[in-house]
Structure 1
Amino acid sequence: MKKCSTLFASIALLSSTAWADGHLADGSEEEAPETAAVAEEVDLAAAEVIFRKSCRACHGNKAQGVASYPKLSDKEPEYIAEKLRIYRSGERIGPNSILMIQHAKKLSDEDITNLSIYITTAFE
């Protein structure tokens, strides 16, 4: 596994988008949670289920990449989360966009955070 400080920093960065400018999606205000509190909310078991069901057939058992599907295990969580959000919005950004959009549009923000952390830490 990657060093804890890197993991906590990644979790904090991934979760900060939900609290941008102190406003939640419903317009209410709330302070951003502490990194330790966010770390407790990451559900790696749920992410593993999503990975096994939706990701590993194309990206490989250890996110090592297969054929035209890129390696993910060497990416940062922020990178994976950004790409998943783009795909979820329906934007095409590569040759496998149609496949990725179909999988990503089912993901919640929490799923994206969990999956991004799981993929970047589970296969070292």
Structure 2
Amino acid sequence: MCQKAGGAPFAAHVGAPVESLIWTRGEPSEFESSAGIFRGFCKACGTYLYFRREGGKRQSMAMAAFDRAADIPLNAELGIESRWPALAPLPIEQVTSEEENPEGLDAIRESNKQHPDHDT
């Protein structure tokens, strides 16, 4: 889902407490990509900005949307079960989303509103 949302082989995020976020150029728009999962984007240009869970205390901000994104360290890789074979493993902690939230994956699949990976 992160690949689809970001239009790339992976989505690089940095977590931030929701209460510490301040939007300086208006409020972003959101798309509920599956039940209780929201993806934020700039309503003026469409830039992908974040991923959040309904009621969550943290928000996963798109690293490439930061002014100095290359300065943000990579600490973990999630969802490695969908890693593209051509991409070598990164030298960081690697976790699959299946290990992290096995019971939630079926619920996400059932309520996913993103375009599927096949013609409809």
TM interval, short-chain normalised: under 0.3
TM-score after normalising by structure 1: 0.24
More helix by share: 1
TM-score after normalising by structure 2: 0.25
Greater RCO structure (CA 8 Å; 6+ sep): 1
